[in-house]
Each structure stands twice: as C-alpha cells, then as structure tokens.
Amino acid sequence: AEYELENLTEELVEKYNEVNLIYEISEALGAVLNPKTVCEIILKKAVGVIGVEKASIMLYDDKSKHLHIIAAYGIDLSEEDLRRINVVPGEGVSGKVFATGEHVIVEDSENTMFPELSHIDRGDKKKSFSSMPMRYKRKSFLSVPMIFSPMNLEKRVMGVINMTDKKTSDMFTSGDLRLLSSIA
C-alpha cells in the first residue's frame, strides 16, 4: 500500500508539472509572434522541466526543403554554425521523425554523435564535426515531431524537438515523451 501511494504521489506531481508547464508556455507566448522567439521559449521551459543538457528545435523550411535548427540549448556551436546545419527529411533521426510524424526514443546510442551535426553545409564545402566534442553523455535521446493541426483538420508536421543527456537518469520515460509530445 505504501509503494502504491508513493507511485500515485509521483504520478500526481508529474501531472501537475505537465499542466503547469503547458500553462506557463501559453502565458509566455501570449504576445509573441516571432517563430524563433516562440521556439526559444518552448525549448527553455521544456529543458527546465524534463532536465536535459542538450536540446534543439528544428523547423522545416519550404524553400530549401530542409530542417534547420531554430533554437538550441547546450550545443557548443556558434549561431552561424547552427544556422548552417540542415537535415533532409527522411535522413538521420530528426529527418525520419519529421518524415514519419512518429516520435523516436533511442535507449542505447552507444555514445554516437547527433546525426544532424555530422556535417554542416558551407556552400560547396562540408565541414565534418566528427572531431568535435558533440558526443552524448547518456545513452538515450528523444526526438518528437512538432505537429500543427488547426481545428483538428489536416495534421502537418512542421518540425522536430530533440533532447539528450538527461540529468537525472540514463533513460527518457514515457512521462517525458508524453510531456514533450504535448508541447510539440
């Protein structure tokens, strides 16, 4: 009975945090119209609640037909280098999440790099980041599609939220997925 009560208490606190986060995001975005600012606010709030060291939001650009990082947290690249990163839909984890509209939780990455950051477009040259310290500290990461659905008509994937290096454990939970999916 004590174990059950403890689990119910944890679940109740988790639900409270989810509702509170959604409320805080809604309140913070009330007067903001700039997509970059919106994504930065969302990412900052989500990082704080889920507790990760690295995260990004990538949005799809209809002109270039690629995903681009619009907001980042804990990624040691300059703003200029972040702007140059592009991911083709269907390629890498973010590209696959975008193309399928389905989340991905990788439980054991074996210290692999972010697929999105393996190359950066510099016009006709590509700069490899394989020698840069971009490796996961933990073995799991979470990638969730950002879905736009006005009045529940046609759902459209507009981007992806990525998180890794969770501070409290090696694995993301179903609660983390549920919360990030709600935000997305």
Per-residue HEC secondary structure of the chain comes to CHHHHHHHHHHHHHHHHHHHHHHHHHHHCCCCCCHHHHHHHHHHHHHHHHCEEEEEEEEEECCCCEEEEEEEECCCCCHHHHHHCEECCCCHHHHHHHHHCCCEEECCCCCCECHHHCEEEECCEEEECCCCCCECCCCCEEEEEEEECHHHCCCEEEEEEEEEEECCCCCCCHHHHHHHHHHC
Question: Does residue 105 register a pLDDT over 80?
Answer: yes
pLDDT in tens, 28-79: 666 667 888 888 988 998 898 888 999 999 999 999 999 999 999 998 888 8
Range 125-138 average pLDDT: 42
> Confidence band (pLDDT; 50, 70, 90) for 110?
low
